[in-house]
Amino acid sequence: MSGGEMNAPSARAQYFDGRNSRSTAVDVTLAEQGALAIRGDGFAFDVPRAALRVGARVGRSTWSVELERGASLAFEAGPDAERLLAALDSSPTTRWIQRLERSGRWAALCVLSLVVVTWLFVKYGVPALAARAAVLVPPDVERAIGAQGLQWIDGWLDPSQLSDDRRSAVEAAFERARTAVPDLTGLRLERRAGGPLRANAFALPGGIVVMTDELAHLVAHDDELVAVFLHEFGHLERHHGMRRLLEGSIVALLSLLLTSDVSTVASVGTGLPAVLLQAGYSRAEEREADAFALDALERIGVPRRALGDVLVRIEAETGSSGIPEILSTHPETSSRVDATRR
């Protein structure tokens, strides 16, 4: 035994082997690299640091140190045990963790990393996840979500008051648009007085397309209605609304995890119409819906410019004060119109 080991912290403890409740009095000495040398009547063994777990101090009387396979040591409180356990706690691994905990700079760095990782995830990971998930949502579920959205919308939009003539023209345009997209199922037109939405149209998951009376009055030609419907069918075909809803939900769950603010999650269920009307779709999504509409217009022999014409008309009518879905990329309207003239 070297002199160093003679000075190593050591203390008396009760050893429990984990198989029965009997204990054995042992001498415990801190050995090389944080291992514990355990010596008792009839047995002697060493436990490496990695196999030890220093338990919480029970009151001020004892500490337990858990060993492998349910075995443990119970130390009587006292200067010997204090010294031994303090030395055990200052083994390299423990010291590193303690330093992390104590150091404000490390803590700040950890928080900063968490913020950056979360931001990257929200910016890139969430949309990618949502795009993948959106196509997996069963049609029944999409329809139920759409129906719920419509219910919410009906809380603040009045029923349509179109004349019979206008109503049949709108319905005929919807049918024409539908013939261009035979693969899309569940399409349904809902007409409402626009109120604050003014001249507008938007799609809800599952196939509901809502059009306001103001838009039906605004168009100069019913081809323009066909173009609007096909644009909305484009959003439906690409599940843009569902993506937005899923993105909103993931972000809400993330912020719940980070802030414990439950109100963010409460908004998920009713969030869709608000999400669509306030945030709108991305520019890329609008261009996708436009491209889908232009292809479809060509298939049924409606001039492509019908889409550009109606975009211009809506912009002139609503300006920038409204929140029309179809204009959600307001500054880009001219480039979207250009695309319809090519």
Measured from the CB atom, the residue of 213 and 286 that comes closer to Zn ion is 286
Measured from the CB atom, the residue of 64 and 329 that comes closer to Zn ion is 329
C-alpha separations of 264 from 125, 271, 279 in Å: 20, 10, 16
Contact 313, 218 (CB under 8 A): yes
As measured in angstroms, the least distance from the Cβ of 153 to Zn ion is 16
Q: What is the rounded CA–CA span in Å between residue 201 and residue 170?
A: 12
**Left if phi > 0, otherwise alpha if psi is -120 to 50, otherwise beta: which for 309?**
alpha
Measured from the CB atom, the residue of 16 and 233 that comes closer to Zn ion is 233
Which run of H or E residues covers position 99?
Answer: helix 92-102
> What distance lies between CA 50 and its chain's CA centroid?
37
Number of residues that bind Zn ion (CB under 5 A): 2
As measured in angstroms, the least distance from the Cβ of 93 to Zn ion is 56
> Between 92 and 131, how does the x/- string for binding to Zn ion read (CB under 5 A)?
----------------------------------------
C-alpha separations of 111 from 97, 107, 177, 253 in Å: 16, 6, 52, 19
| Beta-carbon-side half-sphere exposure of residue 130 (alpha carbons within 13 Å) | 21
Give me the residue whose beta carbon is nearest to Zn ion: 289
As measured in angstroms, the least distance from the Cβ of 198 to Zn ion is 15
Burial class (CB in 10 A: 0-12, 13-18, 19+), 45: exposed
Measured from the CB atom, the residue of 37 and 181 that comes closer to Zn ion is 181
Q: Which of residues 264-293 bind Zn ion (CB under 5 A)?
A: 286, 289
Measured from the CB atom, the residue of 75 and 202 that comes closer to Zn ion is 202
C-alpha separations of 36 from 48, 196, 215, 264, 277 in Å: 7, 75, 81, 50, 66
Measured from the CB atom, the residue of 51 and 131 that comes closer to Zn ion is 131
As measured in angstroms, the least distance from the Cβ of 303 to Zn ion is 20
As measured in angstroms, the least distance from the Cβ of 224 to Zn ion is 15
Measured from the CB atom, the residue of 30 and 244 that comes closer to Zn ion is 244
Which of 43, 58, 14, 49 lies closest to 30 in space, CA to CA?
A: 49
Measured from the CB atom, the residue of 71 and 277 that comes closer to Zn ion is 277
Instruction: State how beta strands 10-16 and 23-30 pair.
Output: antiparallel
Residue with tokens 């050995």: 31
As measured in angstroms, the least distance from the Cβ of 98 to Zn ion is 55
As measured in angstroms, the least distance from the Cβ of 281 to Zn ion is 5
As measured in angstroms, the least distance from the Cβ of 210 to Zn ion is 12
Residue with tokens 């995830």: 121
Residues that bind Zn ion (CB under 5 A): 286, 289
